[in-house]
A and B are shown apart, each in its own frame.
Chain A
Amino acid sequence: MSGKSSWIPYLQVTPLVLVLLLFFVVPIALVVIVSFFRYQMLTGLTPAFTFASYLDFLSNPTTWWLYFSTLKFTLIVLVLTFVIGFWIAYFLVFHVRSLIIAMGLFLVCTVPFWTSDIIRMIAWRPVLGREGLINDALVSSGVVSHPLSWLLYSNFSVILAYVYLDTLFMIVPIFNSMARIDRALLEVAVDAGASRWAAIRDIVLPLSKTGIALGALFVVTLVMGDFFVINVMSGGLAGSAMTGMANDLQVLNYPRAAANAVILLVIVLLIASGIFRLVDVRRELVR
């Protein structure tokens, strides 16, 4: 009996272990290994253990500029998606009385996700372009004399697209943690004489922090790992950490792209661990 039962747990975890090994550990290990390979313009890759790619990568001023740009976008988008996502979730949870309507509105939030990122990004162009909907309306109504050029292919359009794409990832976890707040807690706050703002500050916000942390994690990874949105919406004028990686891949400089990937991974992990340090998500989830 005991001999039989001792290997059964291992058997039970085997499928998951295999999946994780094959699709998670092996690819990352490959990236790490390749990042130490030697690259020469004409001969290509040679297996080696050299920090040349890392030195090359870090000594390039463009790297620093791209990373700074990525972090800047991440921070701005994080703030905007938090503010918008928190209020939408708050509205859905505490102001929509009917659960059915709340669920309906929640589904409406997901409607844009029924089509691909690419189409949704392209769709912004006729809205924001020089002869787009907004500029046409502004010019014809006489608000501005010339079309606004900063609406498209600018930091503005990049941030707009990020917020548009990523706010849902903030709404869902915040909605989830807000929905678990006992309504009686808000009534106690009202009983104590709390204003709506005080109740939000002292009750809703602290009790939603798990959702906020998870949402922030989603947004950070999405924005830091983005290559496509920034390319399309900035018209190639702005770049992200991934832009450098894409350029390296085009010239087959895999080691430098891999070094870039490892560094990006480390930075995202540091941010994630920072978030988890602020909020004990695991403890909060079992609460």
Chain B
Amino acid sequence: MTETLLTATRTAARPAARASGEIRLIDVTKSFSPGSYAVREINLTIPDGCYCCLLGPSGCGKTTILRMIAGHETPTAGEISIGGHSVLGLPPGRRGTAMMFQSYALFPHLSVLDNVAFYLKMRGIRRDERRRQARAMLERVQLDHLRDRMPAQLSGGQQQRVALARSLITNPRVLLLDEPLSALDEFLRLRMRGELKSLQTELGITFVHVTHTQPEAIALADLVVVMETGQIEQAASAAAIFDRPATPYVARFMGGQNVLTGRVMQLADARPRLESSEGWIFELPAAPAPPAGATVSVAIRRDRVALSRHDSRGNSVPPNAIAGSVEATEYQGSYFKVTLNVGMKHAFVANVSDTAFAAEPVAAGDVVLASWRAEHVHVLSRPDLGDAGVPYLDTTE
């Protein structure tokens, strides 16, 4: 199926000289009522041909940004340009963008063919010509046999393909997708996710994809933009976001990380250290050294943590380790997710590979020592104030 969608659009949606699809948002603010902001002073550059995912919980402003790029909302302040030219004031139809709506928004009174031909109709293309183009598009996405069906007679996956074909028929330089996979069941979601990615690679146009699902963003995006309450927490590659989250919020929201907080102790001849309120000691990377006495949060990937049995009587806990009792172990296929109660607000989680787990199995109730190497400690840009969001989903699928 992926192959067909690819060959599909190879000829269809690539004009000879394509305009740049670089999107720039400069100090963009949107307020729907005085004093409250949907998004506030957003600065973001999405390179041409980039697959960008706007990721965040509902109400974080990601859809507002998408709609402002599309032209369905006007920013209260700031500048939006596509391909180097300001698009503010341009109607959606003249921005070179196309939007795929969350519920697909297929016209219920038009056949599949007329749905796909609709954008061409609005551009004043003759009936037989637009039908010919729409048929060619449908043939390429292998939906031609359904061209006379009404949208209500299609499955969710078919509806999505029709919506995709409809928005691509005008050769947009930017495709805007509002939660395109959320209406599909798990199986279709994974398949369509793969198709979207290969489609974007093939077309080479900019995709901006809004989602609240972390695995979706990580799997698809060249650029992941994590948002919370109208602001960008971090915009970076999926690997960077996952491996080196900027803030406690990103670390928690993306999952796969343990966030620990402590006060910096500076010893003359040693690495800077962090002492948590529970008395644990964590070594920090040598540079950049935060000032002594400052409160600092660090993130440690769950899969960098090693577990060993710990006899709590008499044995003190070494640096770069934390002791706790096992709350639960969950088999995840390639690894075991071990949840520890370490007496903090958030549980401490170690993802132990199946071989390591087999070598030293632990069970609920066991007292264990969770340790890591100092170089795996990642310092976050601001301390965890305890109110940062809890992970929406684990990255385990």
Contact = CB atoms under 8 A, between A and B. Distances in A.
A190 B98 CA distance: 10
Contact of B92 (A190, A203, A287): A190
Contacts of B98: 191
Interface string A250-287: 00000000000000000000000000000000000001
Contact of B123 (A187, A193, A203): A193
Contact of A191 (B99, B109, B152): B99
B242 interface: no
B177 to A, nearest CB: 13
Interface in B94-147: 94, 97-99, 101-103, 105, 107-109, 118-119, 121-123
B134 to A, nearest CB: 13
Question: Could you say which of A190, A191, A192, A287 has the most chain B C-beta atoms within 10 Å of its C-beta?
Answer: A191
B333 interface: no
A187 B105 contact: yes
Given A190-B93, A192-B93, A207-B109, 8 more contacts: A184-B105, A187-B92, A188-B101, A188-B166, A191-B70, A192-B118, A193-B94, A287-B108
A185 interface: yes
A187 B101 contact: yes
Contacts of B91: 190, 193
Contacts of B107: 185, 188, 203
B72 interface: yes
A287 B151 CA distance: 12
Interface residues of A, number: 17
Contacts of A189: 118, 122
A202 interface: yes
Contacts of A202: 118, 121
B193 to A, nearest CB: 22
B66 to A, nearest CB: 12
Contacts of B71: 190
A189 B121 CA distance: 10
A193 B108 contact: no
B125 to A, nearest CB: 11
A286 to B, nearest CB: 11
A144 interface: no
Given A198-B122, A202-B121, A190 B72 contact: yes
Contact of A193 (B70, B72, B101, B122): B122
Contacts of A182: 103, 105
Interface in B50-108: 70-72, 91-94, 97-99, 101-103, 105, 107-108
A3 interface: no
B103 A193 contact: no
Contact of B93 (A185, A194, A203): A194
Contacts of B72: 187, 190-191
A191 B92 contact: yes
Contacts of A203: 107
A198 B102 CA distance: 23
Highest count of chain B CB atoms <10 Å: which of A190, A193, A198: A193
Nearest to A194: B122
A206 interface: yes
Contacts of B118: 188-189, 192, 202
